[in-house]
Amino acid sequence: MKEVLTNPSAGYYMSKDVFGEKGDFITSPEISQMFGELIAIWLINEWTKCGKPTPFQIVELGPGRGTLMSDVLRVFSKFKMAESDFSVSLVEVSPYLSQIQEKCLCKTQNEKISELPIDSLHYKESKSLYGSPVRWYNHISDLPRTFTLFLAHEFFDALPIHKLVKVDQGWREVLIDLNREDSTLRYVLSRERTPASLYCRENEVRKDLEISPQSSVMIQVMASRIHQDGGIGLVIDYGHEGDKTDTLRGFKNHKLHDPLVKPGTADLTADVDFSALKWAATHPRSVEDWKANLTFGTVDQKDFLTRMGINMRLEKLLASCRNEKLANDLKSAHRMLTDPMEMGSKFKFLALYPVVMEKILLKYPPPGFS
């Protein structure tokens, strides 16, 4: 799965724009500005709750086209923050997508960017349309150590998974094998237990599992940074609370696609196990990180957006709209984002906070989550 999506020469994400109507799937920020605006308001509210620490950074993991960050920065600009107050850090492994993000977010996309110092951990930098620095990183561990607002929208669903099946002899892993008769790919079961089976919980009742060790490591790094340097995390993705089984699938041209057919030409994805993420975020890797985080959620996207005022925002946009087609598009976008049969119940929101904020959050719970 990792090779299919991020292989440097043939990976699905590495050399083309896969988002939007002309791509293979569409995301919430691409559907309407309302989504990103409400995320921005949530971030500003929680940053204020923390005492408005500066300088800080806004980090997005897997920023796609940069649409969500663009909406976030536009809202942040309305609050008259100085350029030195915050920076933008994007964790992106695709050189092609980083170029699209730069065109979306920055003033200097057509200018030659000066060479970076040899010891620099970011591989590119520029300035946003609003003046704040924008830097690109290959990995979350490369990010600067400072107060951070983390965003991860449709990021964890693309991280590689292991598939496990319970048989009479115990857990066996589903592997990918080559069918030598016609050179096609096929699923096979491992003969013995594999290291991935160590991640199974003792009280597991499901017979089929999908586990993502990389997701656990990623959320633990985020939790550790929030605990040690201060910050907040917001994870948004489609997923479940540890009850689903077989969710691995491919998408091509907005339709389901067999993951084993023409690998590299279609998106591969699996529902996020939020129960596993929450466990990892509250069970740090070292004693120094103990009790690294508090978690809130998950809540359905429709509930979060409704509590954050998406209905009011829609009314305001419609009141200033003089174009009937645009008005219908706004209503359609609102329905797609909030309808339980569309994205409203499929997508979940999870928030992460440092444990030192426990008393504050008891008095002032995170908006959107209650």
**Does residue 18 or residue 188 have the better pLDDT?**
188
Q: What is the pLDDT of residue 116?
A: 60
Q: Residue 75 — pLDDT band, cuts 50, 70, 90? A: very high
Cα–Cα distance between 300 and 348 in angstroms, integer?
5
> What is this structure's pTM?
0.91
Q: In this structure, how many other beta carbons lie within 10 angstroms of the beta carbon of residue 223?
A: 29
Q: Which residue has the higher pLDDT, 136 or 198?
A: 136
Dihedral pair phi/psi, residue 32, rounded to 5° = -160, 145
Residue with tokens 């929208």: 153
Residues forming CATH 3.40.50.12710 domain(s) in the chain: 2-160+212-363
- Of 223, 232, 167, residue with least CA distance to 194: 167
pLDDT tens per residue across span 142-189 = 999 999 999 999 999 999 999 999 999 999 999 999 999 898 999 999
pLDDT at 111 over 80: no
Please tell me the CATH code under which domain 2-160+212-363 is placed: 3.40.50.12710
CA dihedral over 246, 252, 256, 257, signed as positive or negative: negative
Q: Given this model, what pLDDT does residue 370 score?
A: 85
Among 10-14, 104-108, 279-283, top mean pLDDT goes to 279-283
Distance CA 125, CA 105 (A): 11
